[in-house]
């Protein structure tokens, strides 16, 4: 009944699983000779081969099927062996050990993060653009980008095309990289099989991804196209806090920040002909941020209370 009125643009599971499970994502990257950060799957033996790691590292879940503090956070950093073990044993209380991924932390912030965004059909990109996710919020392990700009980045085009061709991907996709200044390589972080936060940047850059997807799903011809360079996208409610933190850390000047906002620029939710979403964005962001902090604090308090209770019972 629904199939007569709706068309699902999500890829089939045999394709989607390569993006859903980071263990498969990095297996695919190795097979296609695409660089990715040094990655370790500790399982039940976190102490094995830990000496091969270059600290600092991060812990992150391979999948997000289970929702809790570990899977909700972007990543958990560990500066040394002791922090790694502590974080690991905290994570193993929340997810099965085989879902824990330990990975080297590549230096740099949003200025080192890049994306290849595309609409593909059977592994062949039809429309695409490359961009730098210059600022994000939070600034260390951002949930989403706050300032993005299109750039010419042929270094990530070839690797992305190999990955997508290997799994014959169809639909919208964002392939994320981080530039490792230590060896001059762009390293794969994620394959996101969905519409990304800053998708409207494509429209301003001449590539209207949602509309092109609709055309493709309807069986209409879609011309091959690439987004223009030098176009910017910003979400002010998160970019201003991000910029303030960057300025306080001495990594950004006020003049540089203001100059980054020149045209052509696409605002995420602000529009003169429909100002209400933009005006309500900041209050909603503050409420969500404070609510999430409150939930996280409650989780920590509950975990500590549970440990104290178990320790008290063991003593008795």
Shared-domain flag, residues 120 and 264: yes
Shared-domain flag, residues 60 and 139: no
Across all residues in the chain, what is the average pLDDT?
89
Band of residue 170 on the pLDDT scale cut at 50, 70, 90 = very high
Shared-domain flag, residues 310 and 220: no
d(CA 254, CA 247): 7
* Domain C-terminal end among 104, 126, 157: 104
Shared-domain flag, residues 122 and 258: yes
The answer to whether residue 88 sits within a structural domain is yes
Q: Determine the average pLDDT of the residues in 184-193.
A: 97
What percentage of the chain exceeds 90 in pLDDT?
Answer: 68
Residue 189 has pLDDT above 80, yes or no: yes
Band of residue 300 on the pLDDT scale cut at 50, 70, 90 = low
pLDDT digits (tens, 9 = 90+) for 222-260: 999 999 999 999 999 889 989 999 999 999 999 999 999
Band of residue 123 on the pLDDT scale cut at 50, 70, 90 = very high
Shared-domain flag, residues 176 and 52: no
Q: Which residues contact 144 (CB under 8 A, 6 or more apart)?
A: 136, 137, 197, 235, 238
The answer to whether residue 2 sits within a structural domain is no
* Domain C-terminal end among 58, 78, 104: 104
Band of residue 56 on the pLDDT scale cut at 50, 70, 90 = very high
Shared-domain flag, residues 200 and 214: yes
Predicted TM-score of the model (pTM): 0.87
The answer to whether residue 13 sits within a structural domain is no
Shared-domain flag, residues 98 and 122: no
Unique residue bearing structure tokens 């989780």: 299
Q: Determine the average pLDDT of the residues in 101-105.
A: 95
* Domain C-terminal end among 268, 283, 307: 268
Shared-domain flag, residues 131 and 254: yes
Residue 284's pLDDT is 74
The answer to whether residue 18 sits within a structural domain is no
Shared-domain flag, residues 285 and 236: no
d(CA 253, CA 296): 32
How does DSSP classify residue 227? Answer: P
What is the CATH classification number for the domain harbouring 82?
3.30.1490
The answer to whether residue 98 sits within a structural domain is yes
Residue 274's pLDDT is 77
Shared-domain flag, residues 239 and 305: no
Query: Domain containing 303: what range?
Result: 275-316
d(CA 90, CA 84): 10
The answer to whether residue 20 sits within a structural domain is no
Shared-domain flag, residues 237 and 170: yes
Residue 72's pLDDT is 87
For the beta carbon of residue 220, count every other beta carbon within 10 angstroms: 9
Band of residue 288 on the pLDDT scale cut at 50, 70, 90 = confident
What is the CATH classification number for the domain harbouring 120?
3.30.470.20
Total of domains in the chain: 3
The answer to whether residue 10 sits within a structural domain is no
The answer to whether residue 244 sits within a structural domain is yes
Shared-domain flag, residues 95 and 141: no
């Amino acid at each position: 009944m629904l199939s007569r009125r709706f068309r699902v643009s999500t890829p089939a599971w045999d394709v989607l699983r390569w993006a859903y499970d980071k263990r498969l994502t990095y297996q695919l990257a190795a097979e296609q000779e695409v660089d990715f950060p040094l990655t370790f799957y500790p399982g039940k033996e976190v102490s094995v081969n830990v000496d091969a790691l270059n600290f600092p590292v991060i812990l992150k879940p391979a999948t997000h099927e289970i929702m809790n503090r570990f899977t909700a956070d972007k990543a958990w950093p560990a500066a040394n062996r002791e922090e790694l073990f502590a974080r690991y044993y905290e994570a193993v209380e929340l997810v099965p050990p085989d879902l824990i991924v330990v990975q080297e932390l590549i230096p740099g912030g949003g200025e080192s993060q890049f994306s290849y965004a595309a609409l593909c059909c059977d592994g062949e990109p039809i429309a695409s653009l490359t961009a730098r996710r210059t600022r994000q919020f939070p600034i260390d392990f951002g949930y989403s980008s706050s300032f993005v700009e299109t750039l010419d980045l042929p270094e990530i085009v070839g690797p992305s095309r190999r990955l997508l061709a290997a799994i014959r991907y169809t639909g919208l996709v964002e392939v994320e990289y981080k530039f490792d200044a230590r060896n001059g390589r762009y390293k794969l972080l994620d394959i996101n099989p969905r519409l990304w936060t800053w998708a409207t940047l494509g429209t301003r850059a001449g590539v209207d991804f949602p509309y092109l997807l609709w055309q493709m799903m309807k069986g209409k011809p879609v011309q091959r196209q690439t987004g223009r360079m030098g176009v910017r996208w910003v979400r002010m409610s998160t970019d201003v806090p991000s910029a303030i933190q960057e300025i306080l850390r001495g990594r950004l000047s006020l003049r540089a920040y203001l100059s980054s906002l020149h045209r052509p620029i696409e605002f995420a939710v602000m529009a003169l002909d429909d100002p209400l979403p933009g005006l309500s964005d900041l209050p909603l962001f503050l409420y969500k941020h404070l609510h999430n902090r409150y939930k996280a604090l409650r989780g920590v308090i509950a975990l500590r209370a549970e440990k104290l209770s178990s320790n008290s019972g063991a003593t008795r």
